[in-house]
Chains A and B, each alone.
Chain A
Amino acid sequence: MTEAQIHDRGNLSYDGPRHGPGRAMVVLSYHTAQRVLGLKRSNWQKVMPAIALLVAFVPAIVFIGLAALLPASSDLDLGDPAGYYVPISFVLFLFTSFVTPEALCTDRRSGMLGLYLASPLNRDTYLASKFVAVIAVLGVMTIGPTLLMLIAFTLDGSGPDGAIDWLIEFGRVLASGLAMAAFWGSLALAISSLSPRRTLASVAIFVSLLVSAAVGDGLAEGAEVGDSFALLNMIALPIETVYRIYGEVNPDGPPIRNVETLPILLTFLGLIVVFGWFARWRYQRIEVNG
């Protein structure tokens, strides 16, 4: 006689502990950041994020290397921290256009939006999680290199004098990086909310940025209707904002350099709010298929 037995396993249900609310947001942010960076995806999808990170970090790493290797007495010109955001903006421009739509568009196309919204996430917390993920990824590029620069300055002995000045400089690095990440991130989410197609969103972001630069500078400098119109240049606006955070004016910048600091900061913050509000407005109305 055989000793084999068949047991009815039944339905194995989870009865273990559960996290509090908010966990779903953390999970979604983490998962989205992974996806935007191309992690756990094909090599081809890692190329653009890898190039962006490389371009953003390499100059800072070179500065750190020089600061560490050269004698302290050598006259190492570490440049101007605000100026570092000009090449970073180029990276952000490409990254925001071609990678960040992945954060929103794919969920709508694949049906995952339905699964997310059938979990304890609502549309607001879903969008907030996406926003945090995008800011975190962009923040690596906007805060990381300048933080390394600050370390390089400090190591070289040409950094801020004393703890207070160092903390002020550190605050500027954080504020500038977060401001840039928030601007580009909110812009990307607002435009991505218009379409489930990633390519379409990429083209829309790319074109709208170029058009805004052409229109803003064209009106301010070409048509000479007033410097305030240079605020329409959404590529120059975040760079100039960072210069103003550092208490400077971009010496080689487009016409926006002629605008007062207050209108620049108000326009900058206003646009972040408008982009965020638009994305939310869109997502409250999107019909979920899935």
Chain B
Amino acid sequence: MSTQAGPPPMVQAAGASKWFGDLVAVSDVSFSIGAGVTALLGPNGAGKSTMLRMMCGLARPSNGSVTVLGKDPRSDVSVLGRIGMAPQQESLLDHLSGREFVELAAQLHHLQRPGEAARQAIQTVELDPDDTRRLSTYSKGMRQRIKLAQAIVHDPLVIALDEPLTGLDPRQRREMIELFHRLGSEGKCVIVSSHVLDEVERFGSRVLVMAQGRLAAEGDFREIRNLMDDRPLRISIRTDRPRELAIALLDRGVISGCRLEGADVVVVDTTDPAAFRRAVAPVARDRNVSLRELRPLDDDLESVFRYLVTQ
């Protein structure tokens, strides 16, 4: 993804950093992305939204640069007309109807037929363009889609979407992801931020992983996923005979370490979670040990990203 031959990148960050007083939101991030869907993945507070804001010219990098279509979006207004943005925030203009809201976006982008453009964009996100209800009455899913509609109404080349799938049901998510791919296949650069790992898997193969303001990983999603699967996993097991179970699992070679906690808990480390999952129940049955609870201690996104950062 970085510095490759071929068409020039549509979005490029070169050593981009952004800090707010003492808080470093983005630290020395460099990447290049072109047409297609790119997922910007990271836990809450990783710097994804700040990165998107820099791409849309809303924030100036404290250091380094972010260019879109070869231009600085903060100083070159012409490039802003080629960017569509759907922010994470919900309130927006609640007194307007969805159609009026999208029309306003169309007018701001100088479209001469904003009504027609708004209707098309609203239909594209599968909402009713004749719905006259105010945005304040919209469900979360409808708000997400109307935000996407205003982001694409002027047919931008670069589309930055901040957590666009939050609040959507599975069917809506699937349709939204299909729409992202359609836009990507038309030569647009679609950047979608998300903190949900499984969600990103369906976006496509290109991923930028941010953690603690840094670019933790970039490239093909499957390779990154494999890298994540290789990390040691810590699991808490509540059982009536923790010592016997720990010895048996060590004998089976599916855990690399263990620690007893209290009378009925053993915490184990495994580097092969799949093998562990296959072995734990048969081992318990063979030793007549009853399993009461298995709880991964570091399966949350934070720990996944922490692991990536240390790689």
Contacts and interface: CB of A to CB of B under 8 A. Distances in A.
A17 B116 CA distance: 11
Interface stretch (A8-16, A146-154, A229-237): A8-16
Contacts of B56: 114, 117-118
A53 to B, nearest CB: 20
A41 B94 CA distance: 9
Contacts, number: 126
Nearest to B150: A115
B179 to A, nearest CB: 7
Contact of A40 (B20, B95, B120): B95
A290 B58 contact: yes
A3 interface: no
A283 interface: no
A203 interface: no
Contacts of A13: 120, 152, 155, 186
B87 A115 contact: yes
B96 A115 contact: no
B174 interface: no
A18 interface: yes
B153 interface: yes
A31 B155 contact: no
Pick the most buried of B20, B53, B182: most chain A CB atoms within 10 A of its CB.
B53
Nearest to B126: A9
Contacts of B110: 18-21, 23-24, 120
B250 interface: no
Number of chain A interface residues as a range: 35 or more
B80 interface: yes
A117 B95 CA distance: 20
Contacts of A205: none
A119 B80 contact: yes
Contact of B112 (A17, A28, A40, A109): A17
A74 interface: no
B117 A14 contact: yes
B101 to A, nearest CB: 9
A102 B121 CA distance: 29
B89 A289 contact: yes
Given A11-B179, A115-B150, A24 B112 contact: no
Given A9-B123, A114-B58, A290 B80 contact: no
Interface string A112-124: 1011111111100
B107 interface: yes
Nearest to B186: A11
Contacts of B87: 111, 114-115, 290
A172 B195 CA distance: 61
B108 A27 contact: yes
B113 interface: yes
A116 B104 CA distance: 10
B138 to A, nearest CB: 14
Contacts of A111: 87, 89-92
A12 B183 CA distance: 10
B154 A290 contact: no
B91 A117 contact: no
Contacts of B108: 24, 27-28, 115-116, 119-121
Interface in A20-51: 20-21, 23-24, 27-28, 31, 40-42
A16 B116 contact: yes
B297 interface: no
Given A118-B58, A287-B20, A288-B59, A24 B92 contact: no
B168 interface: no
Contact of B77 (A17, A27, A120): A120
Pick the most buried of A16, A110, A118, A121: most chain B CB atoms within 10 A of its CB.
A118
Nearest to A13: B155
Contacts of A289: 89
B85 A18 contact: no
Contact of B59 (A18, A19, A287): A287
Nearest to A23: B110
B92 A115 contact: yes
Pick the most buried of B20, B109, B116, B179: most chain A CB atoms within 10 A of its CB.
B109
B112 A19 contact: yes
Nearest to B160: A118
Given A12-B124, A116-B108, 15 more contacts: A11-B179, A12-B120, A13-B120, A14-B117, A16-B111, A18-B109, A24-B108, A27-B104, A110-B92, A111-B89, A114-B56, A115-B105, A117-B80, A120-B81, A125-B77
Closest 7 CB pairs of A and B: A111-B89, A12-B120, A14-B117, A119-B108, A290-B87, A288-B58, A19-B110
15 contacts: A11-B182, A11-B183, A14-B117, A16-B117, A20-B110, A24-B108, A24-B110, A27-B107, A28-B108, A114-B87, A117-B57, A118-B84, A288-B53, A290-B88, A290-B89
